[in-house]
Structure 1
């Protein structure tokens, strides 16, 4: 199992694994939420040597970002609503623990609770909402 709380600072191998695995888990999250292909972007920004950078799943109604920005608080996944894939600042910030990446159904439930995305929606109804 991956250690989400092992710092990526000054550790290129850890950062590479962090990004690769987090990206893979966000793809699984998109599938769990029944997000149609093309209704979201998946981005990775490695940033500088002293930080983890971030991995972002940006749907037209949900913004989910993974990073080690809250290690001292135990948080590292930001979830908020948005109004389109060009909206980077919309809804209130909600944070959950990084280790929720090991429990995709629980993470999907948290995303649904905050954003409503994926709640009883079929892929075709999510596409119509785009």
Structure 2
């Protein structure tokens, strides 16, 4: 299991692993949400030596960014609505724990609740039909 809270500051090896692992998890999130290929961008900005940088999944209606910007609070995933892939400020900011990257179904549920983006997996459609 990846240690999301181990600082990337001044640790190039940790930063590389952080970015690689976060990109992989965001790809899994896109799949869990049912986002078609080409309907989102996946970007990585390593930034300077003293910070983690960020990894961003940018859909036409959702902006999800992973970084170690909330270390003291345990938060490090920013989720907000947006109006297209050129909208970098979007709706209100919502933060969840970095460790949610270890539970993609729960993270997808949070993204759906905040943005309305993505399909529900499992039997949730059956609940709405009842």
Output the TM-score relative to the length of structure 1. Answer: 0.91
1:94 aligned onto 2:87: no
Aligned length: 121
Deviations 1:9-35 (A, max 9, x none): 000000000000000000000000000
Q: What do residues 91-120 of structure 1 show as CA deviations (whole Å, max 9, x unaligned)?
A: 000000000000000000000000000145
Q: 2:15: which partner in 1?
A: 15
Q: How far did 1:86 drift?
A: 0.2
1:72 aligns to what SS in structure 2? coil
C-alpha RMSD of matched pairs (Å): 1.0
**Unaligned residue ranges in structure 2 (runs of 5+):** 122-130
Matched, 1:70 2:70: yes
Q: Which runs of 4+ in 1 moved over 4 A?
A: none
In our comparison, the structure showing a higher alpha carbon Rg is: 2
C-alpha distance in 1 between matches for 2:62 and 2:70: 20
Residue 10 of structure 1 aligns to a residue whose secondary structure is coil
